[in-house]
Structure 1
Amino acid sequence: MEQKEKYDIVIIGAGPAGLAAAISARESGAGDVLIIERDTHPGGILQQCIHPGFGLDYFGEELTGPEYAYRFFRKAAEYDISILLDTMVLSLEKGYICAVNPQKGMFEVNAKAIVLAMGCRERTRGAIKIPGTRAAGIYTAGTAQRMLNIKGELVGRKIVILGSGDIGMIMARRMTLEGAEVRAVVEILPYLSGLIRNKVQCLDDYGIPLKLAHTITDISGINRVESVTICKVDDDKIPVRGSEEIIECDTVLLSVGLVPENELSMDAGIKLSAATKGPVVDQFMQTSIKGIFACGNVLHVNDLVDNVTRESQIAGKSAALYAADKLPQMIHINTVAGQGVSYVCPQLLACTEDEADLFFRVRRPMNKVTMSVLCNSRIITSRRSARVSPGEMDKLVLSKEMMQAVNGDIIISVKEGNE
């Protein structure tokens, strides 16, 4: 590939978000599009997700992670989208990226618009400060998944998993299928962190115990993990004395949350949300710096790759319009997390006549709820749902007619029963 110095669109990250954004940009009229990826292969996290369950919403069929990624990679190739692999972006600013790779050394790329699609990373033992020895045999669930599914290495035989996030539950099933014994999945919250379907398919179907409102209070082992101590926790997540239980194991997998990869964003001066840890954007996925857009898990952690794809298509289209000087200057209003809601994305709403999708997560599991969008104490739209959970993203859509009725900050609230 002949490396050019100037592109219409440069996208950082060749995972599902970056690939979808690139394709959307080309379909929206962008000329030269470049994706920069630090890994040696495109596809992002989907490369190691060999289990089925992807694409049910977007494609209407069940695919594995590599199958889902390949459909977009193939389309990117058809559109002659350049992908620069094994390349690390060092810094960025409006219209400019500095990167490095083994072939070119340090080099610069200019772009009319930039899309951030760097994904997210796992929280580690250091982030949650589990006491105990520094023994071998402690991994994040994603690391264990990569070692098993890509490198063919089983990290342990007797496993305890901390956290009921989706990747943790999926790895509980995966390790069981490889002959390991998953002794328990331990969750500090009194409810599930991931999708219910993963609990049913990955834990219940294999008889793997789930211990809610529990946490690991100690890891023991000389050279390698030999056991963990788990405890019940109270409503303040404080371990309850006298509830200790020792579980013998040789491996601990951590599935304790994901954090958007935003070191580049911070260095560039992009405004970040305290709730999502990702950039503050409007419904066109434009950040606080004009010409820089964000999508996927770098923006907020999604539970379904189908949501990532649709969100990234908006970012790619918006970037193409900006590069062509066709994205209008707009006045923004705020979107606010109201009763029962932990965050809303996008955080800003441009006053246009186009419809807008508002994604949000609730604070706790609730049944028989009413989800409402309010403006100046007036309900613009609402719908009911039998149940909601923090582990599953929810969405409300503002139609063109509803957008015309917006004349102030938007509040999303979720009320249970007769609240």
Structure 2
Amino acid sequence: MIYDVIVIGGGPAGLAAAIAAKKEGAQVLLIEREGRLGGILKQCIHDGFGLQRFKEKLSGPEYAERFIEEFHSLEIPAKLWTFVTKIRKSDQDFQVWTVSRNGVEMLVSRTLILATGCRERTAKQVSIHGTRPAGVYTAGTAQHFTNLQGVMPARRCVILGSGDIGLIMARRLKLEGADILGVYEVRPEPSGLTRNMIQCLEDFDIPLHLSETVTRIFGDDRLTGVEIAKVDEQMQPVPGTEKRIDCDTLILSVGLIPENEMAESLRVTMDPRTKGPVCDSWAMTDVPGVFSCGNAFHVNDLVDYVSESGELAGTSAARYFRELKGEADRTAENWISVETEGGLAYVVPQKIRKSDLDKKLVFYFRCRRTMGESMLAAISAGKTVFEKKYQAVRPPEMERVVIDLSKADIVGTSLVFQLGEVQA
């Protein structure tokens, strides 16, 4: 059987993509390497999910279950406990090799949606020296132990990084009786959402130490302590500021990396700013027929936006052959490139189809640094075609903006986004 769409990944992005593609009439298959659908949401038992989409405060499993129920109601086939080992592109389709309990299988699809999510950085990736004792976990691993396996991973705990998962685990372990000795952040400002700073640290009197980091770990069989040092403006340890903290657990919340090994194997162009693929306003990469969504595209703060991204990819993949007949014209005159200036770290999507210039499009962006009252502007051929004011912007908090391109009067081959503080 030749599928219209194969979705790789059964988390919130993959589920939304598969549902959207099926509703467009496509023959869809979803491949998931775990034994259950839902992705990381299965272990996120805290609430706060769904506020944008459902206007309700849901836990991660509750949010995922709404999509899983719809997925099954549409009778979309899924292969669980199945790993994709190789993908090969031919003129008209993609050959996807998988391995599962049933052995090796080759599947064929006209389009692919990469909804592979992201992974956490490890201790070695942030240059922490020392031995390799038990007790050094990423925040996601500690969350898995605590929430899914019912295993208490820590008694005296240091947390490195103020990312959202680390903040949530600080609160979770505190509730379970662990002594949280402190959250240490190498940057001069927190990396998590403001609501998590308040609800997870301030409400539980957990200390936050900025411009400090872990430089060394101690212990043979089990972690016995960590070395903490202050850092300078270049985030390098300051000699003479080292101190030892005795603890049995170090939890790392030091950033996420989109999982894009499969995209790279297909020679998809990657954006060094997002660590994800360069995509257009259809969520398609520069390899025709390959779409990306969710945290594989760029790391999101809210699962609501992950699902929105998945729906766009699913709808676009299903329409790809029906509307474009498998062809993607990438000549300059048919495309608008999205460029960034000023205080922007990135804007996605990175390209706009000229056929979408009569539509409303959603753009996501992050700023480079914390700014007060700021103005986002979109400029075409030297003319400002869109503006939006923000009371404040912070790098940890991704922003979403909807622009009606039919009213923007875009000309030429580029749309430049600028972000700057409003001058008093």
TM-score class normalised by the smaller sequence: over 0.9
**What letter corresponds to residue 405 of structure 2 in structure 1?**
K
Distance in 1 of aligned mates of 2:60 and 2:19 = 18
Give the alignment of 1:104-119 within 5 angstroms.
104-119=102-117
Gaps of 5+ in 1: none
Output the CA distance in 2 between the equivalents of 1:372 and 1:404.
14
TM-score, normalised with respect to structure 1: 0.95
* Partner deviation per Cα, 1:40-88 (whole Å, 9 max, x = no partner): 1100000111111100010000111111011001001111111110000
Q: Structure 1 80/52 Cα, relative in aligned 2: closer, same or farther at 3 Å? A: same
DSSP 3-state at the match of 1:20: helix
The match for 1:339 is 342
Q: Distance in 2 between matches of 1:368 and 1:210?
A: 26
In 2, Cα distance between the equivalents of 1:334 and 1:400?
14
Q: What TM-score do the two structures reach when normalised by structure 2?
A: 0.94
Q: Are the counterparts in 1 of residues 375 and 390 from structure 2 also a CA contact under 8 Å?
A: yes
Deviates more, 1:363-372 or 1:127-136: 127-136
2:83 to 82, 88, 91: 88
Determine the C-alpha separation between the residues in 2 that align with 1:412 and 1:212. 31
Please state whether the residue corresponding to 1:155 is helix, strand or coil. coil
Give the root-mean-square deviation of aligned CA atoms. 1.5
d(CA) in 2 for partners of 1:289 and 1:107? 24
- 1:403: Cα distance to partner? 4.9
CA contact (8 A) 2:288 2:328 kept: no
Find the aligned partners of 2:46 and 2:144 in 1 and give their Cα distance: 13
Distance change (3 Å), C-alpha of 1:87 and 1:403: farther
* Structure-1 residue corresponding to 2:40: 45
**Corresponding position: 1:384 with 2:382:** no
Percent of matched pairs sharing the same residue: 43
- CA–CA distance in 2 between the matches of 1:134 and 1:18? 35
Are 2:14 and 1:18 equivalent residues in the alignment? yes
Q: Note if 1:413 corresponds to 2:409.
A: no
1:175 and 2:173 are equivalent in the alignment: yes
For the 8 Å contact 1:55–1:68, the answer to whether it is kept is: yes
Partners of 1:37 and 1:414 lie apart in 2 by 39
Find 1:72's aligned residue among 64, 67, 70. Answer: 67
Q: Deviations over 1:332-382 (max 9, x none)?
A: 221112101111111111112222222111011111111111122221111
Match of 2:223 among 214, 219, 225: 225
SS state of the match for residue 146, structure 2?
helix
Q: Once the 2 structures are TM-superposed, how far is the Cα of residue 126 of structure 1 from its aligned partner?
A: 1.4
2:378 to 373, 376, 396: 373
Kept in 2: contact 1:227–1:249 (CA 8 A): yes
Matches within 5 A, 1:281-296: 281-296=279-294
Q: Secondary structure of the equivalent of 2:168?
A: helix
Contact 1:17/1:312, CA 8 A, preserved across alignment: yes
Q: List aligned pairs for 1:97-246, cutoff 5 A.
A: 97-246=95-244
- Which runs of at least 4 in structure 1 moved beyond 6 Å after TM superposition? none
2:319 paired with 1:316: no
| Unpaired stretches in structure 2, ≥5 consecutive residues | none
